Structure 1
Amino acid sequence: MNMAAVKLQKSVVSQTGKHTASVIFLHGSGDTGPGLLSWVCDVLGQNLAFENIRVIYPTAPSRPYTPMRGALSHVWFDRHKISQDCPEHLESIDSMCDHLSAIVQDEIRAGIPKHRMVIGGFSMGGAMALHLVSRYQQEVAGIFALSSFLNKDSVVYQAVENATQRPLPELLQCHGSADELVFHSWGKETNSLLEKAGLNTSFHSFPDLNHQLCRPELELLRSWILKKLSH
């Protein structure tokens, strides 16, 4: 990979004690790092904060986004259209994996080994995290994907099947059962295909939740992060 990457802007919630682990939390399409940080805080009633874990919210660069007829948007990658059935826009995905890997390297330089990191995101951010971890950062402690899905022919499935790093990081996947259109069923199908490819996954549905975050979901995420990174 080309590590001469664009330096992404990031918002950070610092740990209250000694820094021994890190979480990278990627926003959904059209949002920003500060936007997601603020949303998490509003839903949870406080920051997602820990004694020993730093939480990093990067912002995707603004780029033309095909589903919005080429209008500029903060998106991690482009899509030909919002569909499970079309090919992935791998050029933009791979380029962003470079940029996000630079953040992983920053944490390594700060003394945090990969097995003390968790990477995940909301919606498009969760799909981005699945690409980043399964294809480039398999040594991290875990992945989470909230209201996220992958295309049916995603290269992620092949990467999981062919992974030399075993066991792969565990995936926590959450989705609102009332998510508009067919996103919930896409998310569930993604989870089944990842499990079939060899990933240790868990899938949690939240009743009456649309394409949103909710407090029980974030409390589940918090306890899962602690389980992965507290030791």
Structure 2
Amino acid sequence: MALLPFVDVKAQGDTRAVVVWLHGLGDSGHGFSPIVPELRLPADAGIRFLFPHAPERPVTVNGGMRMRAWYDIKTMELTSRADEEGVRESAAAVQQLLDKLISDGISSERIILAGFSQGGVIALHLLARLPYKLAGVMALSTYMCAPEKIKEEANSVNKSTPVLVAHGSQDPVVPLFAGQQAYHVLKNAGFNPSWHEYKMPHSVCAQEVADISSFIQRRLLIQAES
């Protein structure tokens, strides 16, 4: 399998940590890359950001139109919205990218995996199943694929890994209760999520950007110094 292509926002100076950030349906790695300067991270943080591009595929709910998507969406019903086969295929592709970073010398515990909407579904899927420990996971305006399988399929490697679960109370695309369900499923399965709710639609707001920046710094900078 070829490595996923990505937008690469390099660290100033030596790379000491990496954030891999997965976009939503119909977007690309370019969609979120402008957020890096908005995070106002210290200039010497040494954090590289990778924004992978999902492959193009027909999306059923959009009339079969081809677009970048981590998986097909056959229905907007939450219980069957995520095409599980496609989720697993994309999760394997993202894991291949993480594996490459690790083989290049970045410790898995210096990697944060983030995802918005569809990208968050992939991030949460991997959180429960990766064979190595991450520094953290950010699940933004998202939900969980096959939540009923998490206890059966999850390993304990990332049980203590902090997970920022963030959602807009006015989200018309992924309803608030879907994010809340993901949070509670993680909590009940023994993971370590924190809930963050914002008065916003299916998007990102200034307070969320500030909270994301704090999360990244706590996980990658403060830890490195201690």
Matched, 1:58 2:58: no
Deviation at 1:147, TM superposition (A): 0.5
CA distance in 1, matches of 2:186, 2:121: 12
- Aligned residue for 1:203? 195
Give 3-state SS (helix, strand or coil) of 1:54's partner. strand
Cα offsets for 1:21-70 (capped at 9, x unmatched):
111000011000012213x269x387997621111100001011122132
Matched, 1:217 2:208: yes
Matched, 1:13 2:9: yes
- Aligned residue for 1:226? 217
Residue identity matched to 1:102? Q
Give 3-state SS (helix, strand or coil) of 1:203's partner. strand
CA distance in 1, matches of 2:44, 2:4: 23
Alpha carbons 1:176, 1:212 under 8 Å: kept: yes
* Residues 95-174 of structure 1: pairs in structure 2 closer than 5 A: 95-151=89-145, 153-160=147-154, 163-165=155-157, 167-174=159-166
Relative to the length of structure 2, the TM-score reads 0.88
Alpha carbons 2:10, 2:49 under 8 Å: kept: yes
Matched, 1:190 2:190: no
CA distance in 1, matches of 2:184, 2:64: 33
Give 3-state SS (helix, strand or coil) of 2:79's partner. coil
Deviation at 1:17, TM superposition (A): 2.5
Q: How many residues align?
A: 222
5+ unaligned residues in a row in structure 1: which ranges? Answer: none
Relative to the length of structure 1, the TM-score reads 0.87
TM-aligned CA distance change 1:171 to 1:98, over 3 Å: same
RMSD: 2.3
